Amino acid sequence: MEPIEILEILAIVMAALGVVFGVLVISTVLKRAFRYLPQLPSLPKQKPSKKQKKKKRRTERMSKDTASEGVTFNDIFMFMIAVPLVLLWVGFAGFVIHSGLQDDSVLEQIEGYTTLIAILGGPALLIIKDALDVWKQEQAEKTAFYKVKAQAVIDYNDAAQKQMQMIEANAQQQEHKMEASVLPKVNAKKK
């Protein structure tokens, strides 16, 4: 198979992926649009029995809230444009290297291939750089979170230790007061 035929196959595969992602985008937009249309009347719901009634926990509500956020435009954009572009760039570069080692005719046309790799590589490198920046930001947020969490544990342990010391000091004071009030009575009985 010649390199041109493989490029044509890759282009067809990428076009098919683009169509699939386009259908996903349109279906997501339509779902969101139809969500706000008035609902048709439905049958009255049966009241659940006392056993069936169960108070929802706050965590259940929170997980449903975060699940309802759904797919954003940026998510769709990344999967439609960025991911296929980066994969195409890496795949084509690997293909050119492999073909260049196997076939001398590829080396004769290497300028055209390197130009194509450079054209695909510019946006692909920007996407990879942005992805790495996002990853760095997530790591920085995790680090900051763990620092705050560690400081909270240290503060909690310190406060617990101070509270235990205060309880022990109050208990000792109470013992001393009790001993001080008992000693005069004992001394008075001896006389």
Poorest-confidence range of 3-17, 81-95, 146-160?
3-17
Which of the four pLDDT bands, split at 50, 70 and 90, describes residue 157? very high
Question: For 29-63, what is each residue's pLDDT tens digit?
Answer: 777 777 766 665 666 666 666 555 555 555 555 55
Burial of 53 (0-12, 13-18, 19+ CB in 10 A): exposed
pLDDT at 49: 61
Question: For 92-106, what is each residue's pLDDT tens digit?
Answer: 888 888 888 888 888
State the Cα–Cα distance between residues 64 and 35, nearest whole angstrom.
16
**Angle between helical axes of 110-190 and 83-102 (0-180°, round to 10):** 130
State the Cα–Cα distance between residues 83 and 124, nearest whole angstrom.
9
pLDDT at 51: 56
Question: For 2-37, what is each residue's pLDDT tens digit?
Answer: 767 777 787 788 778 777 877 877 787 777 777 766
Give alpha helix (H) positions in 47-109: 58-67, 73-77, 83-102, 104-108
Q: What is the DSSP letter of 52?
A: T
Token pair recorded at residue 157 = 């342990």
